[in-house]
Amino acid sequence: MITPEREVFHLITSEWWMEEVSMRIQPWRQIEARQERHYVSVTPSLSMEANHSRTRGFLDIPAQTPLPQTTQSSMDLLIWNCRGAGNKRFKRNMRELVRIHKPDLLVLMETKVEFSAMGMFFNRMGYTTSAHVDPVGRSGGIWMVWNPSMVNVRVTEASSQLITARVSRQSYSDWILSAIYASPCTTKRAELWQTLEDTAQSMSEPWLVAGDFNDFAN
């Protein structure tokens, strides 16, 4: 149980580096919803200089050699399991997210409504092109909407559990995006995993697989 003002630590690991960050949980009152929410501020436990020294050690780079710089990201992307896209709260939050982050491509999962009911809403924000898999009843739904003046998206596969597309932008290499909303049904979810494994065998390009997998890693 995490309580307000309590400081906790979370260990983030990857294939070749390890970092520890400090998270302070602070109380924040959301008046409209009349319920307690929590604001989480995250700060690194090590200084930037210490992180640079550790990274040089991992990469076997001398102290005087500058660290390699990452290239500028090709685009801004927002992926959100919105759990219902037809209500006023969703529209208000979506406008605010777009205003703050200005994403070129939006991916929404578990929309629970058909895209035809919301198309004009996205058009008014500049997202005039879309690919979508509508929900069955009020279950599921995956939408991709994008600004065609900023990015080109060509769908190569679509089903009730995923949309896979090639993402292109001028002056950047193409990459593949698979937006996932896995079925809560174990049998259907196994079919999705098999599809992803088959795709991985022939995938030679950068590939982002993201969304709601409705599953546990272990």
13-33 residue pLDDT tens:
333 334 455 555 555 555 555
- Taking alpha carbons only, the member of 120, 83, 79, 118 closest to residue 101 is 79
Class for the domain spanning 77-212: alpha beta
Mean pLDDT over residues 4-21, rounded? 43
Contact between 83 and 110 (Cβ < 8 Å)? yes
Tokens 């050690």 locate to: 57
Task: Name the amino acid, one letter, at 122.
Answer: F
Q: Give pLDDT tens digits for 148-196.
A: 999 999 999 999 999 999 999 888 889 999 999 999 888 999 999 999 9
Give the integer Cα–Cα distance in Å for 9 and 181: 30
- The percentage of residues in the chain with a pLDDT greater than 70, rounded to a whole number, is 76
d(CA 215, CA 133): 21
Q: Looking at the predicted structure, is the pLDDT value of residue 82 above 60?
A: yes
List b or e across 190-200, with b for residues whose CB sees 16 or more CB atoms inside 10 angstroms: eebeebbeebe
Q: Could you tell me the pLDDT band of residue 207, with boundaries at 50, 70 and 90?
A: very high
Q: Are 179 and 213 in contact (CB under 8 A)?
A: no
**Cβ neighbours of 23 (radius 10 Å):** 14
Q: Return mean pLDDT, the chain.
A: 80
Size of the chain in residues: 218
pLDDT at 125 over 90: yes
Quick one: pLDDT band at residue 140, thresholds 50, 70, 90?
A: confident
CATH 3.60.10.10 location in the chain: 77-212
Q: Rounded mean pLDDT of 71-90?
A: 84
Residue 105 confidence (pLDDT): 95
Q: Which long-range contacts (CB under 8 A, 24 or more apart) does 201-205 make?
A: 203/176, 205/173, 205/174, 205/175, 205/176
Predicted confidence at residue 38, as pLDDT, reads 55
Q: Mean pLDDT throughout 29-52?
A: 63
Quick one: pLDDT at residue 190?
Answer: 92
CA distance 48 to 20: 13
pLDDT score, position 7: 46
Kindly report, residue by residue over 48-76, the tens digit of the pLDDT: 788 788 878 877 888 888 777 655 566 88
